[in-house]
Chains A and B, each alone.
Chain A
């Protein structure tokens, strides 16, 4: 029976084709450093799921942000767990995406024909850091407030347009409810949408082109 249902679905959805293309594709003999991309993707999924759960109770307003986070941590069942995973997952994700970038660089995997994979990867790293920056403000505690004060002040030192950049980031001259609202919006809508799109392109290219093998001494014709 189960086999019949599967055949019916497979005929219409092409499940076997998806499986063969995505998971059963040929890869060179590689090492553990090649798992960092999958690890980053896994962390993104974790962050997305725990993040969606956090929005059930979190309120992005100066009146409620801090109290709602305290409520999640102390009152809601498993709130400490969901927020804990989101908190530690955030740091881990920045770390993993960064090491993934280093691996690609040192193994020279960014070269032809994988330039666009590298380029989308660069923007994925920037977007991940953007997630870290915007998410840091949301608990609205002292550390969040002053970190964002400093973090928005830094681009403000740019000549001529510095003040304008501060006003864009803060939604005004001061750190305010407007700042919290736009950081929240960027954190849960803009950046995740951009990251999803970039992950789509990134993974399409990884599957289409295949991954590079570990460079060898013999690869260099001069020394060969």
Chain B
């Protein structure tokens, strides 16, 4: 009979096997998890002032699309993403630059001259000329960019990530 509070040989072996087994299991499993999650662990932040050319190039009253590309390195490969922004000049002085990315699920909106609205083809989201939601599922107005004019050129501050 074992004395009270005395660890029996059988129980001792059980504990040692459980502890060593857990350590060995962790050594095998954790690198595997790290391997799979690896690309998700690095966040790339991108910030840049994008030149859109002289403001005078854009007509007054009609939203005009400007397209540019941004390059990111994903894994071993350079990924070139296309972006579009709408430049809207209300008059000689006032203007705004809106993203063409729908705030619902990131499809691209298009300006429809006959309706005077931006329309998203994916789930029929509608926005007015200033980007406010007028119809459909989008939860927020179109994103407005921070702008500046330097040496007669219009710039937008583009940030991602």
Which A residues lie at the B interface, using CB under 8 A? 53, 56-57, 64, 67-68, 70-71, 75-79, 81-82
Find out whether the CB atom of A64 lies under 8 angstroms from the CB atom of B77.
Answer: yes
Q: Is the CB of A67 within 8 A of B76?
A: yes
Instruction: Determine the distance from Cα of A53 to Cα of B37 in the docked complex, in whole angstroms.
Output: 12
How distant is B121 from chain A, measured CB to nearest CB, in Å?
A: 32
CB within 8 Å of A: which of B64-119? 75-77
CB–CB B35/A77 < 8 A: yes
CA–CA, A81 and B38, complex, Å: 13
Q: Is the CB of A77 within 8 A of B34?
A: yes
Knowing that A67-B76, A82-B31 touch, tell me 17 more A-B residue pairs with CB under 8 angstroms.
A53-B32, A56-B35, A56-B36, A57-B75, A64-B77, A68-B76, A71-B76, A75-B38, A75-B75, A76-B35, A77-B35, A77-B37, A77-B38, A78-B32, A78-B34, A78-B35, A82-B32
A76/B76 in contact, CB under 8 A: no
CA distance A81 to B35 in the complex (A): 9
Q: Is B39 an interface residue (CB 8 A)?
A: yes
**Most A CB within 10 A of own CB, among B36, B39, B75:** B75
- Whether B31 contacts A76 by the Cβ 8 Å rule is no
By Cβ-Cβ distance, the 9 closest A-B pairs, closest first, are A67-B76, A78-B31, A77-B38, A77-B34, A71-B76, A76-B38, A78-B35, A78-B34, A71-B75
Q: Is B38 a contact of A79 with CB atoms below 8 Å?
A: yes
Determine which of A56, A57, A77, A82 lies in contact with B41 in the assembled complex, contact meaning CB atoms within 8 Å. Answer: A77
